[in-house]
Amino acid sequence: MTKTARSVVVVGAQWGDEGKGKIVDWLSARADVVVRFQGGHNAGHTLVIDGKVYKLRLIPSGILRPGKIAMIGNGVVVDPWALLAEINELRGQGVEITPRNLRIAENVPLVLPVHGAVDRAREAALGDKKLGTTGRGMGPAYEDKVARRAVRLVDLMQPEFLRTKIDALLTHHNATLRGFGAEEINADDLMAELAKIAPELLSYRAVVWQELQTARTRGAQVLFEGAQGTLLDVDHGTYPFVTSSNTIAAQAATGSGVGPGYLDYVLGITKAYTTRVGTGPFPTEQQNDVGELLGQRGHEFGTNTGRKRRCGWFDAVLVRQANAISGVTGMALTKLDVLDALPEIKICVAYELDGARIDHLPACQVAQTRVQPVYESLAGWQSDTAGIRDWNKLPPAAQAYVKRIEELCATPVSSVSTSPEREDTILLVDPFCHPGR
Q: Which residues are catalytic?
A: 17, 45
The DSSP 8-state label assigned to residue 65 in this structure reads: S
Which DSSP string corresponds to 358-397?
ESS--S-HHHHHH-EEEEEEEE---S--TT---GGGS-HH
Alpha-carbon distance 393 to 378, whole Å?
A: 19
> What is the maximum alpha-carbon separation in the chain?
67
Phi, psi of 59 (to 5 degrees): -80, 130
CB-based contact 319:270 (threshold 8 Å): yes
Name which of 329, 322, 337, 340 is nearest 425 in CA terms: 337
Alpha-carbon distance 73 to 326, whole Å?
A: 19
Phi, psi of 103 (to 5 degrees): -125, 135
Q: Is the dihedral of CA 163, 164, 170, 173 positive or negative?
A: negative
Alpha-carbon distance 201 to 276, whole Å?
A: 34
Alpha-carbon distance 268 to 415, whole Å?
A: 10
